């Protein structure tokens, strides 16, 4: 019975955190409305995942680079979508 009330595993916490990060990453409305808030939120989430040791340093770095590339593409007009 205690298996159902145990704390979530690190793997589950990792997946939930990554899913939240990518959900924010896919928020094109926030990115287009306020790129600086979008960037800060994603970097903050990545920093927190690293602090909690849910991701390795390399994953942390890759997420941060992904944010910067996304914003660069959006500023050049490649990231804008008519449907969301």
| pLDDT exceeds cutoff 70 at 82 | no
Max Cα–Cα distance, the chain, nearest Å: 55
CB-based contacts of 34: which residues, under 8 Å, 6+ apart? none
- Report whether pLDDT(63) > 90: yes
Among residues 57, 47, 46, which one has the least CA distance to residue 22? 46
Query: pLDDT, tens digit, for every residue of 3-59?
Result: 555 556 789 999 999 999 999 999 999 998 999 999 999 999 999 999 999 999 999
Tell which phi-psi region holds residue 27, choosing left (phi > 0), alpha (psi between -120 and 50) or beta: beta
- For the chain, the first-to-last Cα distance in angstroms comes to 44
Q: Where are the domains of the chain?
A: 28-71
User: Model's pTM, two decimal places?
Assistant: 0.77
């Amino acid at each position: 019975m205690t298996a159902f009330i145990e704390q979530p595993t690190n793997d589950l916490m990792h997946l939930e955190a990554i899913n939240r990060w990518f959900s924010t990453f896919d928020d094109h409305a926030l990115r287009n409305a306020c790129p600086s808030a979008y960037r800060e939120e994603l970097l903050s989430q990545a920093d927190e995942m690293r602090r909690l040791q849910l991701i390795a340093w390399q994953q942390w770095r890759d997420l941060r680079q992904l944010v910067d590339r996304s914003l660069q593409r959006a500023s050049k007009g490649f990231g804008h979508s008519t449907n969301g």
